[in-house]
Amino acid sequence: MMYFERREPKSNGEDPVVDVDNHDLQHPRTRSYKWLIRVAAYIVFLLSGQSAATLLGRLYYDKGGNSKWMATFVQSAGFPILIPLLIFNTPVFSNSNRPTSTRSPTKPKLSSLALLYLAFGLLLTGDNLMYSYGLLYLPVSTYSILCATQLAFNALFSFFLNSQKFTPFILNSLVLLTVSASLLAVHSDSDTTKTSRAKYVIGFLCTPGASATYSLYLSLAQLSFEKVIKRETFSAVLDMQIYPSFVATCSCVVGLFLSGEWRKLGGEMKAYEEGRVSYLMSLIWTALTWQISSVGLLGLIFEVSSLFSNVISTLALPVVPILAVLFFHDKMDGIKVMAMILAIWGFISYIYQHYLDDAESRKDEANVTEVSGGTAEMC
């Protein structure tokens, strides 16, 4: 079982902020169950949304879609469905077990939040565009295996931004993921039957580039919660999704018009193999599933950490290639199988290190509890 970190207030010459947990009188097992329900819900959102969105994105291209900016647009345009959650703040997803304070924390300036959301929105725009190129020029199986490099990039950025330590298991994971991507790079001939060599190279470079950009986004999001937003609430998580998505959507609309792709959308809809209704439904459901995935991702950042959310997102690694073989008839030769095995091995090594860190954290927490109990008895 994972537990989020409780940070001690820093002494800075001011009166300390007293953390008061309104639910401390409840049985600890009840609090753990509520936390597990939230984490389990976020995991389901992340895995189902990510897998479905990836397959639907490829379906759009396979059936006649060709607009990179439209494919990028739908990755962020579904954010309005999150507004009801922000308004009603559904209890099962609200983090009622988070400690509250007897003194309200200093709220960040509106200008600071606006700049933060603007920067994240532009970052997501570039990231989504690179993913669109990767998904257009690569088979889904190759694309999904390359996306596993996100784990390696996240470890790197977390080392610099979130004080994550490098351990033998982490290094082993990085090496395995690098070798996995290298195998796909060397053995690329079987994937270039439908696309030119130049387009394949573009897709191959864009996918790890998008993984690196998204890993940077995850680490910066966690850092922003700690240093800027300073509000550990579900509404803060939704704000971090809604406002950057709004910026990214507006940026995609600008890109759609500047590139001239908007002129081709009418003809693209008419020429779509499954018809106009299927064209619209594929775009709508792609937008919805990306938002479901994003809620799960940010929720896990909020409840645990960006590292854990990224680990969970890679669970879709062995699922998507198998579904791609079934639905899109992708080739799964020996090299791809070996690359996928290495990537999964790297994932297991990574998550085992996360397990060790969690066990050490629980041990430290138990020691602190024993010391606190002994002090209380002496008093």
Burial of 125 (0-12, 13-18, 19+ CB in 10 A): buried
Bridge partners of residue 101, in order along the sequence: 19
Question: Which residue carries 């991507």 as its tokens?
Answer: 181
**Whole-angstrom Cα distance, residue 131 to residue 159?**
24
Rounded to the nearest 10 degrees, what angle do helices 306-313 and 149-161 cross at?
180
Residue type, 89: N
**Residue 245 exposed, middle or buried by CB count within 10 Å (0-12, 13-18, 19+):** buried
Determine the number of helices (DSSP H) and then strands (DSSP E) in the chain: 14, 2
From the CB of residue 156, how many other CB atoms can be counted at a distance below 10 Å? 18
316 close to 144: Cβ distance less than 8 angstroms: yes
Say if strands 19-20 and 100-101 run parallel, antiparallel, or are unpaired: antiparallel
pLDDT tens for each residue of the chain, 379 residues long: 333 333 333 444 444 333 333 333 344 444 477 888 888 888 899 989 988 999 999 899 999 999 999 999 999 999 998 888 778 765 445 544 444 444 456 778 889 999 999 999 999 999 999 999 999 998 888 888 888 788 778 778 878 887 777 788 888 877 887 787 777 766 655 555 567 888 988 999 999 999 999 889 888 987 888 888 887 677 887 888 899 999 999 999 999 999 999 999 999 999 999 899 999 999 999 999 998 998 888 788 777 766 677 677 767 666 777 777 777 777 777 877 888 888 888 878 877 887 787 778 777 777 776 666 665 555 5
Q: Tell me the pTM.
A: 0.78
d(CA 100, CA 202): 49
Dihedral sign for Cα atoms in the order 60, 61, 67, 71: positive
d(CA 201, CA 265): 26
Question: What are the distances in angstroms from CA 123 to CA 87, 119, 156, 245?
Answer: 26, 6, 18, 10
CA-only gyration radius of the chain, Å: 22
